[in-house]
Amino acid sequence: MVWPFGSSKKDTESSPAPVTSNEPLIVDRAPTTTDSSPSATSSSQSSSLPELPSFLSSESFDISKLHPLAGLDKGLEALDLEDDALSDLPGSKGFLPSRGWSDDLCYGSGTMYMGGLALGGAYGLAEGLRHSPASAPAKLKLNSVLNAVTRRGPYLGNSAGILAISYNVFNGLLDVYRSYHDAYNSIGAGAITGILFRSTKGIKQMAISGALMGTAAGVWSYLTSSI
């Protein structure tokens, strides 16, 4: 490239005057080069003015000459996350990710117990407030509310938790037995759970309960697989 102060003819003609005024300019123009002495003393030599070293210019960076496995021609490939490389566990792609039957069992029974506790507690709260007379002092009301909450809450929580445990255990057993994880296992597990739940109350109750729980399990597995 043509250096503005580099042509020999003009430099030799006007060298006395611009040397004194060029020196600070040249020093300022090359702050990053280490060899500033040749540039200050030789304003008449165009080839020794500082230039970028040859390995920094872009012509020497030839991608094809680099190692072929470096893969630099494909761009930033490491940032491409393919969806199926994230996880290949069967339960990881659904709405509620889980690593297997133990996750299902623990989280399912924990959530159902806490849900049942909350619902039963709310029902007990309403019942306790309803059963205490309106003019009763606050301590009496609190007592009747606490009685109702501790009667209804844990009962519903326990029942819901046990249903969840039974459903998950049978779901896991059916998965192992059929070697396949699909919605029929859920429905079957729900039906067996419902039948067991009412097993002391007679055949008709067992059938109704089994049908209800099977339907609920089917709806649940449809919802979690479609969202």
Partner 1 sequence: MADHTRDPCPIVIVNDFGGAFSMGVIGGTIWHGIKGFRNSPSGERRSGAIAAIRSRAPVVGGNFGSWGGVFSIFDCAIKGIRRKEDPFNPILAGFCTGGALAMRGGFKHARNSAITCGCLLAVFEGVGIAMSSYMSRASKPQLPGVEGGVPLGA
Toward partner 1, which CB reaches closer, 131 or 201?
A: 201
In whole angstroms, give the CA distance from residue 209 to residue 191. 8
Spatial separation of the C-alpha atoms in residues 34 and 53, rounded to whole Å = 12
CB of 169 to partner 1, least distance (A): 9
For the bound state, the minimum distance from the C-beta of residue 107 to partner 1, rounded and expressed in Å, comes to 6
Cα-only R_g, the chain: 41
Binding site for partner 1 (CB under 8 A): 102-103, 105-111, 113-114, 154, 157-159, 161-162, 164-165, 200
- State which residue, 103 or 127, has the beta carbon closest to partner 1: 103
Residue 203 to residue 195: CA distance in whole angstroms = 9
The enclosing H or E element of 185 equals helix 183-197
The answer to whether residues 5 and 48 touch, using CB atoms and an 8 Å cutoff, is: no
State the minimum distance, in angstroms, from the CB of residue 64 to partner 1. 40
Given the complex with partner 1, which of 157 and 190 has the nearer CB atom?
157
Q: Which residue has the tokens 């506790």?
A: 117
Task: Considering the complex, state which of residue 123 and residue 155 has its C-beta at the smaller distance from partner 1.
Answer: 155
Q: Give min distance, CB of 127 to partner 1, in A.
A: 20
